[in-house]
Amino acid sequence: MTNKNGKKSNEDTGLDANLNAYLKDNADGQLEELMEWLRIPSVSTQAKYREDMVRAAQWLGDRLETAGLENIEIIETQNHPLVYGDWLHAGANRPTVLLYGHYDVQPPDPEEKWNTPPFEPSVRDNNLYARGATDDKGQLFLLVKALQALMDTRGKLPVNIKFIAEGDEESGGPALETYVKLNGEKLAADICLVSDTEIVSPDQPSLIYGLRGLWGCEVVVRGPKGDLHSGMYGGVIHNPAQALAELIAAMHHGDGRIAVPGFYDDVADLDPAEREKLAESPQDDAVFLEETGVPALYGEPGFTPVERIGARPTLEVNGMWGGFINEGFKTVIPAEARVKISCRLVSNQDPDKIARLFTEYVTQIAPPTVSVEVIPLFGIRAVSVDPDSPAMRAAGRAYEKGFGAAPVFKREGGGIPIVLAFREVLDAQVVFLGFGLPDDNAHAPNEKIHLPNFYRGIRTVIHFLDELATGKG
Amino acid sequence: MTNKNGKKSNEDTGLDANLNAYLKDNADGQLEELMEWLRIPSVSTQAKYREDMVRAAQWLGDRLETAGLENIEIIETQNHPLVYGDWLHAGANRPTVLLYGHYDVQPPDPEEKWNTPPFEPSVRDNNLYARGATDDKGQLFLLVKALQALMDTRGKLPVNIKFIAEGDEESGGPALETYVKLNGEKLAADICLVSDTEIVSPDQPSLIYGLRGLWGCEVVVRGPKGDLHSGMYGGVIHNPAQALAELIAAMHHGDGRIAVPGFYDDVADLDPAEREKLAESPQDDAVFLEETGVPALYGEPGFTPVERIGARPTLEVNGMWGGFINEGFKTVIPAEARVKISCRLVSNQDPDKIARLFTEYVTQIAPPTVSVEVIPLFGIRAVSVDPDSPAMRAAGRAYEKGFGAAPVFKREGGGIPIVLAFREVLDAQVVFLGFGLPDDNAHAPNEKIHLPNFYRGIRTVIHFLDELATGKG
């Protein structure tokens, strides 16, 4: 198997001969097993998939057991189950690493835009297409396979391992956070390995030292008590869809800055040294234009795209609807219109404060002709880690061995809710060892994982655990 | 049966004894037959109802035959069938009246808001609830029952009758217009009776002397080539849903006036005499606030609600959508967002010119960060008729007999596309003899017809035809 630049993806990356042979021999089986895993539609935000979520948790627990982990638990919560397992026999002089991933996936909508069905995994051109292939079932699965490879070949692991997976990452459910807070001792670790991010390109790994936070809400604009005929009432009442559009338009200034007063108050300035480091990223305007296909980029003036994605907050419409949206035409004034909005947060922005500022602003600009309700849904703070910690240096060496190239440093635009609790409750160093790619279509139709990355990912995780065992800073 | 003010709806309105007895005896049967008719889901804009449309046309043809009409035809068109029948034996000294209605209905969306299913007619409190009950199958059906009552009791009609019904009124299809243009002689008539409008209240009939036109389009805003993760791309591209909201917001000034340059150029000023006449309408601010339930009215400054609905143009969002709009949350930047917009037109506003002005304006204000397409869908001009013509005076007398009150004069906000062709091609006087009510929920969930109005409607149509036969001006 070769990656898109022609290099072998399952090439020897300096692992011992046994491991190397094992990984080559088991590559096909690992792929088949991953496809079985992706066939379970583990969508956390929609009630109809509830049983599939339980099935996915059970499946993962079984695989942890097969990999040689102990004390496997499927932990019931008020939302979806957690999955736990550990192996704690490396000795007190070796660090303890908590491995994290999530087995829930985004809804597959819009399903008609998938080339092959979202829950029928399909391999094309070295990519495996399925919902969850990269975010996060594929990446979670490669952690398990790395542990299994070590156990199967060496009969032991180089470090003490705790493994926790959740099913509420995409729905913002608090189950894992609550569990972490109540079980600080059980989950105590020196390092948290999070594999739920992406690297810049198949041949250019990147190390993340910042993640944005997230605050989300739904805004409802209500007008008449029922839908009205636009001929009989058009001209005397404020169309709720129009009123909502006017509210949405007022959320940004014309130049792309967010118009909510106070929104930027707790955003730290970027220091010149960091800007220099970020400027080394190969992701310039041309890359984003090519990746997205938009006619021109957009965003806050005074910042590069990489800065805007990692170090600046956003306010985005994730969904907006009102009135007649089916085939045909219906000359109706809708009774209400709704929008789902989320804000990416950075630095010290507090989701609760953002909720208050946003609600105050919307309430203040809402016209008297409709009623407006803001329903806050979830919020997590941004996080940043020391790019120069021993664990980060170990991750850098692991990436270099696994991919043949030293990683660049990066701020990531998306958030991973639980990371904050790992750091604050467990006091662990967090390392993001991700293997997704920018064109993996996470959260979108035709999500995929690049198979060479999947295999290199397994090797990189093994290198990382070995690096941690040597204790080199 | 009594109306909501306690008056008998099927009371003797001065018709001859035979007819009066016939109408009382047949009231229950007429209701049952209407319910049968409303059970056929004749939605013209959605392909899945195509066979039901054919069934509805056939059903109507059968009833015309039962009523005693001749030369019944189900006329195939490129869209839905037309239904024709006539009775031309009243003599050359009697006028010829073309009766018009449409058998297609609006889609039932949103179905979950109906108290009883849209295609399972249900009687509650003197109202019959079903999609099409008032618009227009109920009103069309009462024309047929008026003709049948005359034929069954007198064996003849007071005037020559041509009857044409279409199935494309709600979809803006051109089938009937094309047919009228090609069959001017066959459809030639002195008077066109259109029963597809409403009166002010059950005890206050109204006569319409103006109808607004309509222009409709869909606007598509396209951004990235696929949906994107809002964390990974939020901050570098213009969210198409946001861009669409900004476009929609820019379509009106803050005070409610339409912002499209030139939009009002061909709108005639209201003359003081007409404003005085319109001011007699009982529909003041309080009535509209009560009917709609909105916290405050909205619209163009300087005009009363009745003036805004009848004599001023509008631009309304009928449907708007983009991104993830299902249960749950998906932090996505949608690839595109869409809006269905329609404009009510008045005076000399030309739909083609409005299409051009609108498209130019949207193109001019569209930002370079997205691509914007305007797809014009349909257009009809406004129409007004002489409120003092002999046919209008006959209609006034018929309403007075049927409802016990002289009608007030009114401009109607909605349009009826074919009226223009009736007037221009057939050179016929158009009379709107409508029996709907403002709270009938036309185009909305829980559409109904007020049953006393249905029965009074049959009587009023009979009075009207008798009035026309006497030839009094």
Residue A1 scores a pLDDT above 60: no
Structural domain includes residue B308: no
Chain B positions in Cβ-Cβ contact with residue A410 (cut-off 8 Å): none
Considering the domain boundaries, does residue A302 fall inside one?
no
Q: Residue A321's closest chain B neighbor by CA?
A: B321
Q: Is B32 on the interface with A (CB under 8 A)?
A: no
Q: What is the pLDDT of residues B161-213, one digit of tens each?
A: 999 999 999 887 889 999 999 999 999 999 999 999 999 999 999 999 888 89
My answer on whether A333 and A392 are in the same domain is no
Location of structure tokens 């309700």: A373
Is B21 at the interface with chain A, CB within 8 A? no
Sign of CA dihedral A147, A148, A149, A153: positive
Say whether both B56 and B113 belong to one domain.
yes
Cβ distance A443 to B45 less than 8 Å, yes or no, reads no
Residue A93's pLDDT is 94
- Beta strands across the sheet bearing B70-75: B70-75, B82-87, B160-166, B96-102, B191-194, B429-432
How high does pLDDT run on average in chain B?
Answer: 93
Nearest residue on chain A to B365, judged by CA atoms? A254
Distances, alpha carbon A77 to alpha carbons A175, A366, A433, B441, in Å:
6, 39, 27, 46
pTM for the structure as a whole: 0.77
Could you tell me if B53 and B200 lie in one domain?
A: yes
- Residues B50, B160, single domain; the answer is yes
Check whether A465 has a pLDDT greater than 60.
yes
Place of tokens 């707790």: A266
Let me know whether A186 and A222 are in one domain.
Answer: no
Chain B residue with minimum CA distance to A229? B443
CA distance A462 to A459: 5
Contacts of B182 (CB under 8 A, 6+ apart): none
Q: Are B226 and A377 in contact (CB < 8 Å)?
A: no
Are A237 and B413 in contact (CB < 8 Å)? no
Which SS3 state, helix, strand or coil, does residue A335 take? coil
Bin B438: left if φ > 0, else alpha if -120 < ψ < 50, else beta: alpha
d(CA A152, CA A26): 11
Question: A93 to chain B nearest CA, in Å?
Answer: 39
User: Residues 6 or more apart from B67 whose CB is under 8 A from it?
Assistant: B85, B144, B145, B147, B148, B151
> At A355, which helix (H) or strand (E)?
helix A351-365
Contacts of A305 in chain B (CB under 8 A): 235-236
Answer whether A324 sits within 8 Å of B319, measured CB to CB.
yes
Question: Closest partner residue to B340 among A224, A297, A329, by Cβ?
Answer: A329
- On whether the CB atoms of residues A430 and A192 are closer than 8 A, the answer is yes
Same domain, A206 and A217: no
Q: Are A337 and B116 in contact (CB under 8 A)?
A: no
A426 plus A439 within the same structural domain: yes
Contact flag B443-A334 (C-beta cutoff 8 Å): no
Do the Cβ atoms of A299 and B237 come within 8 Å? yes
| C-alpha–C-alpha distance, residues A301 and A316, integer Å | 17
Shared domain for A91 and A115, answered yes or no, is yes
**Cα A84 → chain centroid:** 20
Do the Cβ atoms of B193 and B433 come closer than 8 Å? Answer: yes
Same domain, residue pair A98 and A70: yes
A259 vs A10: CA distance, rounded Å: 50
Between positions 240 and 299 of A, the ones with CB within 8 A of B are 241-242, 244-246, 248-252, 256, 288, 292-299
Judging contacts by C-beta atoms under 8 Å, the chain B residues touching residue A344 are 230-231, 234-235
Mean pLDDT (chain A) is 93
pLDDT in tens, A43-90: 999 999 999 999 999 999 999 999 999 999 999 999 999 999 999 999
Domain assignment present for A296: no
A291 CB-near residues (< 8 Å, 6+ apart): A438, A439
pLDDT band at A277 (very low <50, low <70, confident <90, very high): confident
pLDDT in tens, B280-307: 888 899 999 999 999 999 999 999 999 9
CATH of the domain at B151: 3.40.630.10
**Is B48's Cβ below 8 Å from some Cβ in A?**
no
Whether A262 is covered by a domain: the verdict is yes
- Are A420 and A211 in contact by the 8 Å Cβ rule? The answer is no
The beta-carbon neighbor of A320 closest among B331, B337, B413 is B337
Does A473 or B385 have the greater pLDDT score? Answer: B385
Q: Do B245 and A438 touch (CB under 8 A)?
A: no
Residues from chain A contacting residue B214 (CB–CB below 8 Å):
231, 331
Confidence of residue A275 (pLDDT cuts 50, 70, 90): very high
Phi first, then psi: give them for residue A38, nearest 5 degrees: -75, -15
Question: In which band, very low, low, confident or very high, does the pLDDT at A413 lie, cut at 50, 70 and 90?
Answer: confident
Tokens of B176: 């009937």
Contact present, B251 and A249 (Cβ < 8 Å): no
If one counts the domains in chain B, the total is: 2
ipTM of the complex: 0.77
Q: Does A223 touch chain B if contact means CB atoms closer than 8 Å?
A: yes
User: Mean pLDDT lowest for which of A98-102, A295-299, A371-375, B272-276?
Assistant: B272-276
Provide the shortest C-alpha distance from residue B72 to chain A (in Å).
Answer: 30
Cβ under 8 Å to A: B residues 74-103: none
**Strands, E, within A334-447: which ranges?**
336-345, 371-380, 383-384, 408-412, 429-432
| B316 contacts chain A (CB < 8 A) | yes
Q: What angle do CA B298, B308, B421 make, to 5 degrees?
A: 135
Residues A77 and A206 in one domain: yes
Residues B102 and B178 reside in one and the same domain: yes
Q: Which of B380, B415, B436 is where one domain is finished?
A: B380
Strands B206-211 and B127-129: unpaired
State how beta strands A206-211 and A408-412 pair. parallel
Residue-wise pLDDT for B334-349, tens only, equals 999 999 999 999 999 9
Residue B32: how many other CB atoms lie within 10 Å:
11
Question: Is A153 domain-assigned?
Answer: yes
Q: Which of B230, B233, B296 sits opposite A292 (nearest CB)?
A: B233
Band of pLDDT at residue B3, cut at 50, 70 and 90 = very low
A285 within some domain: no
A465 and A426 in a common domain: yes
Q: Which pLDDT score, from 0 to 100, does residue B9 have?
A: 62
* Boundaries of domain holding B176: 17-211+382-470
- Show the tokens assigned to A268: 């730290």
B425 to chain A, any CB pair closer than 8 A? The answer is no
- Dump the DSSP string for A168-181: -TTTT-SHHHHHHH
- AA identity, residue B330: K
In eight-state DSSP terms, residue A189 is -
- Counting beta carbons within 10 angstroms of the beta carbon of residue B465, is it exposed (0 to 12), middle (13 to 18) or buried (19 or more)? buried
Write out residues 152-171 of A within 8 Å (CB-CB) of B: 171
Q: Considering only CA atoms, give the Rg of chain A.
A: 23
Token pair belonging to B55? 């069934």
Lowest mean pLDDT among B31-45, B128-142, B326-340: B326-340
Q: Chain A within 8 Å of B45 (Cβ-Cβ)? A: yes
Region of residue B427 (left: phi > 0; alpha: psi -120 to 50; beta: else): left
Establish if B337 touches chain A: CB-CB under 8 angstroms.
Answer: yes
**Mutate: best of A53, A290, A317, A349, partner B, most B CBs <10 A:** A317
- Which CATH number characterizes residue B255's domain? 3.30.70.360
- Pairwise CB contact (< 8 Å): B226 & A113: yes
